[in-house]
Structure 1
Amino acid sequence: MLTIFDRRSGDTNASLSRRSLLKIGALSVGGLTLPDMLRLQANGAAPSGARHKAVISVYLQGGPSHQDMYDLKPDAPSEYRGEFQPIHTNVPGMDICEHLPLQATIGDKLAIIRNFKGGGGHNSDFIMTDSRDPAQRPGIGQTVSYLRGGIKDGMPQFVAVSGRGGGGTAWLGPAHQAFQPSGQAMNNMKLAIPADRLSDRRSLLQSFDRLRSSADATGKMAGVDQFTARALEMVSSSKVRDALDVSLEPEEVRERYGSKNMAWLQARRLAEAGVSFITLRGPGGWDTHRNNFVTLKKQLPEVDRLMYALITDLAERGLADDVAVILWGEFGRTPKINTGAGRDHWPTGFAMISGGGLRMGQVIGATDAIAGKPTTTPYTPSNVLATLYHVLGIDPSATIPDLSGRPRYLLDDRAKIAELV
């Protein structure tokens, strides 16, 4: 917890201790201190557009079974087709699983990519970078953070509401790892002095200067400067904490998501408040080598409810064209059901996108009669990421410098999904 002692607060320790000040300087967001984030912002934050754009990425860890969710094959032999039946959506020709009835009512707000080719192993970093070595390319969230200066208008630009976010920072460094708003990270945002005490920046800086010279001759207090004062001012504004406070939502909105799923509502609130890239880990585990259908009968209704709640909530708040939601995993499952009533790893999978100003109400691509291989040119994570960069107003053909100053492309394949843009 970040604590600033104050004589007028009645604390017996009336002075700012060296340890307390170091806590201020080290208050971090995903490994980046707030003073450092503010320096990055001051040294070249991306210009703001007319409307804020955001992406919410929902990751189904383990590899979701594409042919049991969005690409059913009811005419395939029984050892391939599985137990579930397709149902119609409100878009002709877009059939999905019977355990996704809520999404079936909003098919016009969905775009299902059936010719998606993922990886071959459990690696969330791969779909966030399109690289099997996250040290070689930063993830999309980390890159967006870098391009947006870490903090923009008081909000961190990359937030992992649940899970770690996926991807690495590569040469961007830990400064742009995701802010994870849980546990101590939220406790660190609680201040023990009134906000009006932080407004007198000059007086605060004078106190810091005196302490820097008298309490620390080693130079370790160098981070306590005008950027630290601004960091304190930002923390005291409560903007991030308010965005995460779902109690500010009407009860009927909270009920739509369900009491156990407030992270999803937080994701919508963060996007609305100015965060550019937000990640969520979907409920349950999707590595269904055994009992695939038993597991999915439990998990699909929950995913259905949450995706419906998030997509309709964004639409009702006028955010559908500004916020894209993507649901995906690292790969799909084998066409043939194994002896344990499960499906094993398979590169062909799916990605489902909603909103972001993209073209909705369509199925993109197709697979063969057993959902084994795409019958159209497959789209890779790189193509999906290029499309998400497009949503955010970032040119996927742009470059950023590495540690040696050499320009590096954001992606190897910069082609966007043509049917969506």
Structure 2
Amino acid sequence: PAEIRGEFQPIPTNVADIQICEHLPRLAAIMDKLVPLRSVYGSPNGAHDSHICYTGRAKVNEPKGGWPAFGPCVSKILGPANSAVPPFIGLSPDAGHPPYGSPGLPGFLGVAHAAFRPSGPARDDMMLQGISSDRLADRKSLLTSFDQIRRDLDANGSIAGLDSITQQAFDILTSSRLADALDISKESDATRERYGQGDPKNFGDGAPRNLEHFLMARRLVEAGARVVTLNFGRWDFHSNNFSGLKDTHLPQFDQGLSALIEDLHARGMDRDVAVVAWGEFGRTPRINADAGRDHWPQVGGGLVACGGFRTGQVIGATDRTGSAIADRPVHFGEVLSSLYKFLGLDTQHVTIPDLNGRPTYLVDGEHFPLPELG
């Protein structure tokens, strides 16, 4: 209904009977490569917290150390595909509101499986500065000797975690593979223009609208990263919802995400890389007095692409006002279970030990991979 929809209009896509917002024309043109999720639920209280997106779990009855996110779990189980590229990379810079900048926390898996975050000046530290490889190896040997003295004092895995980080640092320093992947100047002008630039500055207390991160993510998975997370903008429009979305967020998001998906298909990577875009909750169907929309944890949405999934379909539906789920509820855990399945991990059988040594499933047991995705 118009009083719910607001000033935005739906437009057709290249798949019959699927419509999306008029300010997402590029995504509309590749709907055959997408799966909109229109009935996502599981946000515990409507609070700003990306934890549910990364773990599929609410912050209740957490084990000591907390639930680990998808990236750290993949890092723990599968390890690096290439020793010079961390298995889990977070492109999300810190934000004024910390949950907006979280790449997905390691929880009880510890620092060894935290996201490698190459944003800012840290990127300059990934290259050797006037130190030969032999001299670096001597320093590594000396460091190992010192660490051996402390080894027996470690009771919580922190030294083991630091060992892993140290080894990763030496691997990165002695190879240009990661630094090259982060250098998008190696791409053609046409490719960089297709992705666009956006704005590298944080949007308020949220994330930047950095379109180059979409391109960087593609280059990182090509180089060997198993999981890459990024954040984009600040979607919390409690006021001026329509101007904020149509003037910046929607057109830029449309450009960056569609460029990534088309690029993955063009490079033959669409069956090797899965893409998910979503947030932790939906927005109120009714527009408030400030022309904004407030938090609505009852139902939200998302978008899945590539991964060899069965695309060109919609999963789930709401009632006519978008207030409640009318068909096929989709829990965050089901989507994450689908991602684990894509990586060859059976969430009904694969476990990781918590800090007490107890086997812990990757998602809650009632959440299975989405059969609709194939």
TM-score with structure 1 setting the length: 0.74
Structural mapping, 1:198-217, within 5 Å:
204=138, 208=141
Alignment of 1:247-286 (within 5 A): 247-260=185-198, 261-282=211-232, 284-286=233-235
Residues in 2 aligned to 1:384 and 1:88: alpha-carbon distance in whole angstroms: 26
**SS in structure 2 at match of 1:343:** coil
Instruction: Mark the CA change 1:360 to 1:194 in structure 2 (over 3 Å): closer, same or farther.
Output: same
Match of 1:5 in 2: none
Corresponding letter in the other structure for 1:403: L
What stretches of structure 2 of length at least 5 have no aligned partner?
Answer: 94-100, 153-158, 199-210
Give 2:13's match in structure 1, choosing from 89, 97, 105. 89
Matching of residue 171 in structure 1 with residue 144 in structure 2: no
Residue 244 of structure 2 is matched in structure 1 by 295
Counterpart CA distance in 2 for 1:102 and 1:217 is 53
- Counterpart contact for 2:127–2:179, Cα < 8 Å: no
| CA distance in structure 1 between the aligned counterparts of 2:166 and 2:88, rounded to whole angstroms | 21
Out of 28, 37, 56, which is 1:113 matched to? 37
Evaluate the alpha carbon distance shift between residue 317 and residue 168 of structure 1 in structure 2; reply closer, same or farther with a 3 A threshold.
same
3-state SS, counterpart of residue 404 of structure 1 = coil
Instruction: Determine if contact 1:165/1:178 at 8 Å carries over to the other structure.
Output: no
1:2-401 counterparts in 2 under 5 A?
76=1, 78-119=2-43, 120-133=46-59, 135-149=65-79, 152-163=82-93, 164-193=101-130, 197=134, 204=138, 208=141, 219=149, 232-260=170-198, 261-282=211-232, 284-298=233-247, 299-347=249-297, 348-397=299-348, 398-401=350-353
Give the whole-Å Cα distance in 1 for the aligned partners of 2:56 and 2:20.
Answer: 27
- Residue aligned with 2:228, SS: strand
Is residue 414 from structure 1 mapped to residue 352 from structure 2 by the alignment? no
Shift of 1:259: 3.0
What's the offset of the Cα at 1:221?
10
C-alpha contact 2:112 2:164 (8 A) present in aligned 1: no
Q: Is the 8 A contact 2:81 2:224 kept in 1?
A: no
User: When the two structures are aligned, how many residues end up with a matched partner?
Assistant: 337
1:313-372 per-position Cα deviation (integer Å, ceiling 9, x unaligned): 111111111111111001011111111111111121111011011110001111101011
Tell me, yes or no, if the aligned pair for 1:118 and 1:332 is still in contact at 8 Å. no
Shift, 1:417, TM fit: 1.2
Name the CA shift for 1:225/1:338 in 2 (closer, same or farther; >3 Å).
closer
Query: Distance between the aligned counterparts of 1:331 and 1:313, measured in 2?
Result: 28
Distance, in Å, in 1 between the alignment partners of 2:144 and 2:351 is 39
Instruction: State the shift of 1:289 in Å.
Output: 1.1
Deviation of the 1:377 alpha carbon: 3.2
- After superposition, the Cα gap between the structure-2 partners of 1:229 and 1:303, relative to the gap in structure 1 and judged at 3 Å, is closer
CA apart distance, 1:414: 3.2
Q: Deviations over 1:90-135 (max 9, x none)?
A: 1001100111111111010000111111412111012211222264
Q: How far apart in 1 are the matches of 2:284 and 2:68?
A: 30
Gaps of 5+ in 1: 1-75
Instruction: Indicate how the Cα distance of structure 1 residues 241 and 218 shifts in structure 2: closer, same or farther if over 3 A, else same.
Output: closer
CA deviations on 1:133-159 (whole Å, 9 max, x unpaired) are 264421111111111235744210111
Give me the whole-angstrom Cα distance separating, in 2, the residues matched to 1:143 and 1:380.
Answer: 19
Match of 2:357 among 388, 405, 420: 405
Distance 1:297 1:229, change over 3 A: closer
What amino acid sits opposite 2:294 in the alignment?
D
Cα pair distance change 1:138/1:301, threshold 3 Å: same
Alpha-carbon separation, structure 1, partners of 2:273 and 2:303 = 14
> Cα 1:212–1:154, aligned 2, differ >3 Å: closer, same or farther?
closer
Distance 2:246 2:281 in 1: 20
Contact 1:195 1:237 survives alignment (8 Å): no
**Alignment-derived partner of residue 53 in structure 1:** none
Determine if contact 2:317/2:326 at 8 Å carries over to the other structure: yes
Counterpart amino acid of residue 58 in structure 2: R
Q: Is the Cα contact below 8 Å between 2:317 and 2:328 reproduced in 1?
A: no
TM-score, structure 2 normalization: 0.83
Percent of aligned pairs with the same amino acid: 45
SS at match of 1:396: coil
Bigger Rg, structure 1 or 2: 1
Aligned CA RMSD, in angstroms, stands at 2.8
